[in-house]
Each structure stands twice: as C-alpha cells, then as structure tokens.
Structure 1
Amino acid sequence: MTAARGRTRAGYGLRPVLPGPDTVPTTVLIGASPFNKVYSPARLREHVTWSVSQGLRVHVLFAGVEAAYRLIDAGDSPRRAVRRAVRATHEMRDACRTALAEAGDEDPDAYLHVWTKLEEHARYRELRDLATAAYRDRPEFRTAVHDELVGALRTSLNREPTLAELENSAPYILAEVPLFVDAPAILGTDSVMFLYHREPPIFLALHQGIVPGLAPSPGMGLGVLTLPAAPATAAGTAPAGTGRDALPDILDWPVRPGPHGTAPPVFARLRASSRAHRLRMPSGDLFWIFVRREDIVRVTTDRRFSRNLTGRDVPRFGPAEDFQSLPGALFNTDAPRHTRIRRVLDPCFGPAQAEEARGWLTALAGDLLERMADGPNPADLVASYAVPLALRAACRAQGIPGELQERHLDGLRARGGLTTGPAGTNALPLTVGLARDCLDAADPAASHPAAVLARARADGTLTDEEAVGTMAHLIVTGTGPVVGPVPVMALTLLRHPRELDLLRREPGRWPAAVDELLRHHHNGPMSLPRLATENVQVGDVLVRAGEAVLTPYLAALREPDHCERAAEFDIRREPDALNLTFGAGPHSCPGASFARVYLQVALRGLFDRMPRLGLACRPEDLPWNDPEDLFTRPRKLPVTW
C-alpha cells in the first residue's frame, strides 16, 4: 500500500483506518451485509461501480448460511431463514456481478466470494478454527463478538437480544474473522483493505492483539466507505424527472418483468412520473404507454380507440406481420362488426359453460399428474404439466380434432412475442391454415367455437374472413396465455407457504386465490395496442388521431391508490368491484370464466395430488422466457415432491 490520494466523487469517499490514515489500497474487499439497506442490491452495485472507477481491484464478500441465524433468532423457521439468506446473497451477488461486468471484467465471479465456498481454502479454515476456539476459550474475545452482534440483533428483534440469541448468531462473525485477519493470503494478493460502512469493533479488537494468532497480517487494512445519502423517495422509486435515473420521455422495448414474473419495476416509476412517456418498439414506431388505472379504463372503454390495426400504415410492434395484422378476427375489429362476431361466440364462454368444463378439465389434469408422479422426480412442471394441459384443454374446448393437434403444437412452438421475427412470421400462416381446417372439419351439431363459427360462416352471419380470423385468434389466445399462469402461479404459491397452507386448510378459498394470483401476475406485462381514431385527451396527454397506445392491465391491477398493499400477495384480499384482470369495455376477454375454472382445477389438482411439492432449485436460478414474449413464464420450473 502506498501514500494516500483524494478519493471522493458524488458523495462517495474512502477513509483509511488501518494501518493508518495515509494508506491507499490497490485491492479492496467490500463486506456486503445482508438485510442491511446500506447493502441493498442497488446500492451495492453503486459501491462497486464507484470503487472500480477509483482504479481499485474490487472483491466482494457475501455471507453464507450463517446469515440465516439472525433470521432464526428473529422468529423465522430454519427452512425459511435459509431460503431468505440464500435469496439475499444471490440478489446482492447479481448486482455486483453486473457492476463488474460493466466495468470490463470478463470473469466477475472470480472476485465474488461466499463464506461457504471459502471453506475450500486451507488458510481460511485455519483462521476460522482459531476464531472458533478463541470464542469458546477467551471471554474477552467472546465479549467482542457479542458487541459486534448486539446492534444488528437489537434492530431485527426490536428488543435487547438474550445471551442465547447472541451465541446462536456468533458463527456469523466467526465466519468473517479470517477475512479481517489475512484476506491477502485467502484472496491471493499482496495487500487488501477491508471496506465497510463503519469501523467494525471486532476488527479493531483483533488489531489490538486481543487473540494471539489472530492479529491482522502486514498486508491487511481497514477502510470506511463513506456513502452519499439515500434518495428520500419511496423504495425502488427515483424522483420523477430529476437525477441521472430519471426516465427518458421515450423508453425502449422490451418492458422487463420484475422478479419471479411480477410487474415490471418501471411501471411504478412511470406512475410516479410527472409527464407522459412513449415506448419505442422494434419497428421504430412510438406508442403512448398509460399505467394509471383511470387512464387505462378511459382508453379501453372509449370507442374512439380502435383495436383494428390491420392497415398497412398503422403503428406496429415489430417489422414483420403478426396476429395484430390479421383482418376480420374478433380481437382486431370494432363495433358493429365486433359486436356481431362476439354475439356468435358468447354462448360458448359463459359461466355455465365454464362450470360444465370443470369435470373434463379435472380428468385431464388428473391423468397428467398421475403420469408425472410415475415419472422422474424432480421434473419440469412446464414440460410435464403446464404445456400438455394447456394443449389438451384448448383442443377439447375449441373443437380442434385429434388429427390436427400436432399442427397446433407446431404453431405453439413457432409463436412468440408481439415483435415476431422469422419464427413468429411463420406462425401466422400456420395458425390461419389450422383454423380453416378446424372449421372445415367441425361437427355441425357440436357446441364448441369451431362448430359455432363454422355454422355462422355457412349461414352468412359471419364472412369467411371473420370466421377463420376469429378461430385463429382463439387458437393463439386459448393456449399460449394459458401455459404461463400455471407455473408462475405454482411458483408464487410455493414462495408463499402460509397462503398455500391456508388453501390446504380451507380449499373453498381457491377461487379467491386464483383471482389474487391473476391480479398479482396477470399473464404478462403488456396489453394489446389500440389506435386513436381522432384526437383524444387522456389525462395530461393529447393522443392524436393515428397514434397508438398501450394500456397494461397489470399496471392497473397494481395501482396503490386503488389496491391496498398492491405489491403483496394476499388471498384474503377483498375482490375489486371493477376487476380489470380480463380487461374492460367491449374487448374484455370472452374466455374469462373458462380461464378461472381452468386455473382453479389445474392448481388445486396439482397441490392436492402432490402435497409435498417443492422447488428443486432457488427461485432466482429459474430461466425465464424472452422479455419480448407477450406472456411471461419460466422456461422450466424444476419441482420435487
């Protein structure tokens, strides 16, 4: 280490403590403390970014399973405490990995260290054994360890910790001691300055020689990272229109979901913004995006906003043709044409028809669950259950004959997001061809949509374009949107065991639970676009004729002014008088009743048949689909039972 230089920028600074105030490090080790807001993922990323900008070689230290001990003392069960500790470490590590990668490190993980992994290092094991023995045999060292712990435990317990609680949490400090003593040997460098947001008393006690053999090595230093004040705004929200994190007037697609398939964080920032924003799509077209519930209801119920985007000169999501360009389809028409098509289909999708389907849906789900139970364990819930159940249910409900079901699967594989590229472009003719063949093969006496549309085409109520286009849209919306909710909702229930236990005790709550799951996730962050047919004032925005708008229902369902504790998952929540889960206005989803029954059957059947169902990996390790896809879901959901 060499002579000091000034190290302050934008409120950050580094104050050397040991060996002395004139010390300047070349390598630092940031001690990242979980459940401390100073080391939230966002702030930790800033710490690393600033340190790298000062020319420092940055390592970061994360707690191992020992972090769970404090949570257990605070009342968490061991299983829950471990899960929370693992999750906190994973999120902090991701933030640091991103910061190091952005700084040009090709292998960021080489500089990110978890106590558990350090057990592989002989010097770490040696020093940890010495610390453990000193805690057992030296009262003065035991007192120093307790002094280090008492503040954090007092905060988490909201009272003075007992001696037993201090002793239970002592391994947290003992696991860190080796890095206070000889981080250079453990990390393989000449010198290291340990950085923390305050001076740890235990480090100072070791420096004073409280335990022979645990004095810091000559290359070991201590520094305090002085931090800028946290913004005085709601958690996760930046001041609207100010600062380097202010939202630009034009955002770029895609809108990325939040953790575990929840609402995109940008929705909260858009809602807090003092001005309107637009979203630039891959086509280059700009769409107004409205996230306030009042604005969303206004747009979706105002007939001056059209769902007919089939023209060649209208704004489009992607450069290729997609299902928004399919003429005559129910979802791409307006009144009176839309009213006429909807009147033909409505008898297929009422509450009574949905209840009639409950029996055969239960049988389909039961068959798939038995096969899954007899197969490999762990298994992928998406491939073993969610996809085949959605396909079988769609074929049965819509009237797709058995000989055409393989083509339906091919179309499902080809369909992607709204910004479809070559695969999605290929899906359009595939699905239209399948729709036409379904109508041609329909049993004239049947009551499913294919038969109803075929009869309406035959008697002239609907044109060929309307019947085929609507059947094609039913094929798309009756399968793809139904695959995702099962694994996403199963994941949410597994992540909320108290809610799941309540459902097991009171199965009559399943309908309310499904409604809350739909509110919590919807089935994706984005809605179908609408086109202004004349100038319309929406809130503070004048939407001009020919401009496109987006009204994500998930944003409306999460609006805090209309939903108390909107970000929380609570199956006891009172139902909303205006439920926007399935839309509002003339284009609300015709299959809402069927979708609710389907999800009730699929989820209840899953947890009844497999009461010990659990995740086979950490939720943070799940692979999710491309954010450009319209429907959010994990690509795989490994489970065990």
Structure 2
Amino acid sequence: MTDLPVIPFDRSDPLDVPAAYRELRHKERIARVRTRAGDEVWLVSGYEDARALFADGRMGRSHPKPEEAARISGSALLGGPQGDFETEKADHERMRKLFVRSFSARRMKALSEHVGGLVDGLLDELTTRTPPVDLHKEFSFPLPVYVICELLGVPFDDRDYFSEVSTRMGSMDEAVGMAAREEMGRYMARLIDAKRHDPGEDVLSDLVDVVDDDGTIAQLAGGLLFAGHETTVNRIDYGVLLLLHFPEQLAMLKADPGLAPAAVEEILRMGSPGLHGIPRYAREDVEIAGVTIKAGEAVVLTTNAANRDETAFDHPDLFDLHRSQDNPHLGFGHGAHFCVGASLARVELTAVFERLFQRLPDLRLAVPFEELPMNEGRLTGGLKELPVSWSTAPR
C-alpha cells in the first residue's frame, strides 16, 4: 500500500495534538500507517488500547531480528528495537528493581523540600533581572539540571558538557544519536567508577557494586540523565504556555497555589513537546480491537493523542484544574514500564507551579506565541527559548 497515512502528523500549533489522530481513530481504532522512516507500523492513539498494550506482556522493546524490524524514526533512543529478545523481560526486571530503589519514596520526600529551595533561589535571581528574560535558559533548564545532578551524583560543573551530549542523543539522525549515547555511557561509567573511592548519597553510588561488563547499566544511567532533565525542562516550558493559554485556570492557581498538583497532572496530560510516540514490538500474535498484530510487527503508542481521547477525558482539549482523575493520563506510561522517574518529575513540577505565578503574577510572553522558536529535528521537541516579561512588582 502506498497511500498509508504518514506519522507523526503535522501540526501548526505546538500546544495542540493534530486532529488527524482523532479522525483516524474514529475510522480505525488501531490503524496501519507508515513512519517517516518508510516502514509500516500499527498506530495506537486511543486511551484504552494504549493502556492495554502498555500492560500486555506480549509486547516488548526488543525484536528477534532487529535488523529486519520496522523503524519508527532515526532516533537512537526510540527509533527502533532495543535489548536482547531472549532476555528482555529478565533484564528489565533486574534494572527496574535497581533503579526503583534509587527513586524510593524516602529519597523523593527528602528531596521535595530541597527542590522548593532551589526554585525559590532561581526565582530570587530571576526577579533581579530586567525583562524580557529567557525563562527557558534562566529557569526551566537549570532547575532540572540542578536536581538530576544532585540525585544521580553528577558534578554540576559538567552541565554544559552533558547537556551538549544530551542534545546529540536526542537527534533524529541515528548515527549522531548512537555516538552520543555511547559517549554518555562512557561518561557515566567513569563517574560510577569514581564513586568506588568517594561514594555519596546518590544513585551512581548505588550502582557501584552492580556495574556490568558490557556497560548496560552505565548506559541506562546516561538515559536517566538525559530524561531527567530534557523532559522536565519541556514540561516546565509547556506548563507556562498552557496556563497562559487558559487564563481562567491560571487565575484559580494564583488564588490557590494548593492546586499546583492538579495543574501538574493537566500539564503532563496535555503538554506535547514532541509527537514521536513509543515503539513496541509484538513477541507473539496479539488480537486487539478487531485486528491481529502479528509477531514481530511494530506498534507506535501515541500517548499524547491517547491523553486527548474524548472517550476517556471530557472536553480533552481543555485545561481543567478540577478534572476527575478516574482515568490517569499516560504521560509516564503504564504497567511494568511505568516511568521510574515519575515521582521526581512531579516533585519538581509541583514546586515550580506552587511558586512561579505567586512570585511573578503578571508573567506573560514577551513575543507573540506564533514567534516562539521551536527545536526541530529532536526527539523531545520543545522550545529553544521562552522569552517572558512582567510589569508588576514581584512578591
């Protein structure tokens, strides 16, 4: 077939999810589409179907013949299969036990107050500046970097280096992304080795006795460093944009900063910096929604579209601080692969949105929305800059 729809669909507004996902879902709950890499895959954009396949043990990230597997994109991180087909489940369980311990409730609770102090400090500095100011550079970026450095035990002085490597890791050019991923793995392996002689209360110190010969754990730690700041930076930026776009909801948050956790959940549900989707490969035939996904075939779970599914969320394109949480969003995935860093992201985002508009209640964009510069050709998408201004005296 040469007339298959090509994903990801184009959009004109970075706050929207293309209507083409919803239109196609109305025709076919699970549809055959083509990726921009040129391969045919199954597109899953409905909430219940995505949730079911996230939790289905017959779906995985590996493929028995990875060189023959359909590719989603050129991304070295999410463009195609990863892992060993024979040992994927055991490997995942081992790694998850290791990293879940590192993101324990105790550690996150201890971190919460400290993150609030970091937010206050950045806002203190921000309010000494004369607007307009690039909020992305001065606030959205440094906060997650501070936090992930402290949590992992990465030297903050290395931030420019690993940020540059992270940028290359997120490239949609596979060769560029793979080289950067390997470089990040080597960097993390060196840091883990250094922790043998100078351990601390951090994740890398937790890994000292479990580093493997093939560098897998160091590479996973590098992935945590990438995800731990890249995705949260985007969520802060997009949270600001969404709240400015829905002023009545913003007014409620200003009046009651206790609504910050609810705002965070809506930001995680609606914020869509990138539209790449999450790949899965069927380990055996899977029947769902009237179609058979055959063993070895690729599926793209589009969580951003699923989080706007009108059968799961009333008025899904509206930002609503009082939205029912009966259907939790899929921003962190679901099931066995639920993001281990979810609690960390919530701690950071809650601290931000409890404080940002209290300190800068008149915060606004300093350029027209349409002129905001976007990142192109990167897995995580997002903004290059977020110029903002304010006119009232900050509190």
Could you state the TM-score of these two structures normalised by the residue count of structure 1?
A: 0.56
* Residue 301 (structure 2) pairs with residue 551 (structure 1): yes
* Alignment partner, residue 512 of structure 1: 262
* Aligned residue identity for 2:70: P
Contact kept, 8 Å, 1:253 with 1:279, in 2: the verdict is: yes
* Aligned residue identity for 2:256: E
* Alignment partner, residue 538 of structure 1: 288
Q: Distance in 2 between matches of 1:542 and 1:251?
A: 19
* Aligned residue identity for 1:429: E
Match of 1:343 among 57, 74, 97: 97
Q: CA deviation at 1:259?
A: 2.1
Q: Give a deviation string over 1:528-569, Cα, whole Å, max 9, x none.
A: 201111111121221111111011112222111111111111
Q: Give a deviation string over 1:212-263, Cα, whole Å, max 9, x none.
A: xxxxxxxxxxxxxxxxxxxxxxxxxxxxxxxxxxxx8622243334624232
* Alignment partner, residue 346 of structure 2: 596
* Alignment partner, residue 271 of structure 1: 25
* Residue 124 (structure 2) pairs with residue 370 (structure 1): yes
Residues 333 and 555 (structure 1), Cα distance of their counterparts in 2 relative to 1, 3 Å cut: farther
Residues 383 and 596 (structure 1), Cα distance of their counterparts in 2 relative to 1, 3 Å cut: same
Contact kept, 8 Å, 2:53 with 2:59, in 1: the verdict is: yes
Q: CA deviation at 1:413?
A: 2.9
Match of 2:16 among 248, 262, 274: 262
Residues 520 and 471 (structure 1), Cα distance of their counterparts in 2 relative to 1, 3 Å cut: same
Q: Distance in 2 between matches of 1:320 and 1:274?
A: 27
3-state SS of 1:289 partner:
strand
Q: Give a deviation string over 1:459-509, Cα, whole Å, max 9, x none.
A: xxx554331221121122112111111111101111222211211211111
Q: Distance in 1 between matches of 2:132 and 2:162?
A: 28
* Alignment partner, residue 227 of structure 2: 477
Q: CA deviation at 1:421?
A: 4.9
Q: Distance in 2 between matches of 1:385 and 1:374?
A: 13
Contact kept, 8 Å, 1:250 with 1:277, in 2: the verdict is: no
* Alignment partner, residue 437 of structure 1: 190
* Alignment partner, residue 173 of structure 2: 420
* Alignment partner, residue 136 of structure 1: none
Q: Distance in 2 between matches of 1:333 and 1:431?
A: 24
* Aligned residue identity for 1:556: A
3-state SS of 1:549 partner:
strand
Q: CA deviation at 1:275?
A: 6.7
* Aligned residue identity for 1:484: N
- Give me the identity figure in percent: 28
* Alignment partner, residue 68 of structure 2: 313
Q: Distance in 1 between matches of 2:328 and 2:206?
A: 30
Q: Distance in 1 between matches of 2:254 and 2:75?
A: 47
Q: Distance in 1 between matches of 2:326 and 2:346?
A: 16
* Alignment partner, residue 289 of structure 1: 43
Question: Which structure would you say has the larger Rg?
Answer: 1
Unpaired runs of at least 5, structure 2: 391-395
3-state SS of 1:409 partner:
helix
Residues 543 and 579 (structure 1), Cα distance of their counterparts in 2 relative to 1, 3 Å cut: same
* Alignment partner, residue 489 of structure 1: 239
Q: Give a deviation string over 1:160-188, Cα, whole Å, max 9, x none.
A: xxxxxxxxxxxxxxxxxxxxxxxxxxxxx
Residues 623 and 522 (structure 1), Cα distance of their counterparts in 2 relative to 1, 3 Å cut: closer
* Residue 391 (structure 2) pairs with residue 636 (structure 1): no
Q: Distance in 2 between matches of 1:293 and 1:629?
A: 25
* Residue 332 (structure 2) pairs with residue 582 (structure 1): yes
Q: Distance in 1 between matches of 2:169 and 2:193?
A: 23
* Alignment partner, residue 393 of structure 2: none
Q: Distance in 2 between matches of 1:435 and 1:498?
A: 45
Residues 355 and 262 (structure 1), Cα distance of their counterparts in 2 relative to 1, 3 Å cut: farther
Q: Distance in 2 between matches of 1:467 and 1:326?
A: 18
Q: CA deviation at 1:313?
A: 2.9
CA RMSD in angstroms, aligned pairs only: 2.6
Q: Which has the higher contact order (CA 8 A, sep 6+)?
A: 2
3-state SS of 1:589 partner:
coil
Q: Distance in 1 between matches of 2:276 and 2:41?
A: 12
Contact kept, 8 Å, 1:260 with 1:488, in 2: the verdict is: no
* Aligned residue identity for 1:335: K
3-state SS of 1:288 partner:
strand
Aligned pairs (5 A) from 1:57-72: none
Residues 290 and 612 (structure 1), Cα distance of their counterparts in 2 relative to 1, 3 Å cut: same
Contact kept, 8 Å, 2:108 with 2:344, in 1: the verdict is: yes
Residues 588 and 523 (structure 1), Cα distance of their counterparts in 2 relative to 1, 3 Å cut: farther
* Aligned residue identity for 1:499: Q
Contact kept, 8 Å, 2:279 with 2:299, in 1: the verdict is: yes
Residues 264 and 344 (structure 1), Cα distance of their counterparts in 2 relative to 1, 3 Å cut: same
Contact kept, 8 Å, 2:123 with 2:359, in 1: the verdict is: yes
3-state SS of 2:154 partner:
coil
Q: CA deviation at 1:578?
A: 4.1
* Alignment partner, residue 362 of structure 2: 612
Contact kept, 8 Å, 2:185 with 2:215, in 1: the verdict is: no
Contact kept, 8 Å, 2:75 with 2:379, in 1: the verdict is: no
Q: Give a deviation string over 1:96-140, Cα, whole Å, max 9, x none.
A: xxxxxxxxxxxxxxxxxxxxxxxxxxxxxxxxxxxxxxxxxxxxx
3-state SS of 2:215 partner:
helix
Unpaired runs of at least 5, structure 1: 1-247
Aligned pairs (5 A) from 1:34-73: none
Contact kept, 8 Å, 1:516 with 1:569, in 2: the verdict is: yes
Q: Distance in 1 between matches of 2:81 and 2:31?
A: 28
3-state SS of 1:565 partner:
coil
